Amino acid sequence: MTQVIRGFLRLLRGQGPGAAALSPAALVRGAVALCEHRFARAEVELRVSIPAAPPPSKDGPPPSKGEPPPSEGGPPLRGDARLLEHALVNLLLNACDACQPGGLVQVNAALEEDAVVFSVTDDGAGIAPAIAERTTEPFFTTKPEDQGSGLGLAVTHEIVKSHRGTLHLSPRLPAPGTVALIRLPRCQGGEPFLYRSASGLPAGAGPAKEVRS
């Protein structure tokens, strides 16, 4: 937790997060390990789907220095592992809280040509579109006053944005529930993933766009 706080303080000071090579599969496993006890206590099932590890190649080049081994599954992202794990944990705990005992939450990491998409889906009561648009506002919460600070999704949004990603929440249709999507650019060609201008924004990056389902 100390590392998460330090990482977030760096963001508040306008500094970029860490830029280590990361495995999408390892991020999901790390987030699940941090919060699976909450699911057990709430009697909510948690299902995990992560990219499969590619088969070993006898003729291919060895992994670049600092990149996760193939056994981790999937090509690397670049970023701060603790912050991204924290973002996923926030989404998982929100999904768990939205479910009744016997409910189901699914966390997924899918590889696209230029991005990695993390999804957290629950079968709770769902979320109205008008509410979904406000969920990343600081201190906005639909939970009782003694059960939520309204900061979890706001912090998640800032972490994702600092990694040049997008966060989007929407109703799970036609079934009840909510879908949360984090979309992050894949690391391409070994180039540094994160670099920041004097303004504190990623150099050359335009405004973040929401992922629409």
- What Rg, from alpha-carbon coordinates, does the chain have? 17
Task: List, in order of start, the domains of the chain with CATH numbers.
Answer: 2-12+21-51+73-185 (3.30.565.10)
Residues 6+ apart with CB under 8 A from 169: 127, 132, 135, 153, 178, 179, 180, 181
Tell how strand 104-111 and strand 45-49 pair up.
parallel
CA distance 81 to 85: 6
pTM as predicted: 0.72
Percent of the chain residues topping a pLDDT of 90: 41
Q: How confident is the model at residue 99 (pLDDT cuts 50, 70, 90)?
A: very high
Q: How confident is the model at residue 112 (pLDDT cuts 50, 70, 90)?
A: confident
Torsions phi, psi for 97 (to 5 deg): -65, -25
pLDDT (average), residues 63-92: 73
pLDDT-wise least confident of 36-50, 164-178, 184-198: 184-198
Q: How many CB atoms lie within 10 A of CB 113?
A: 5
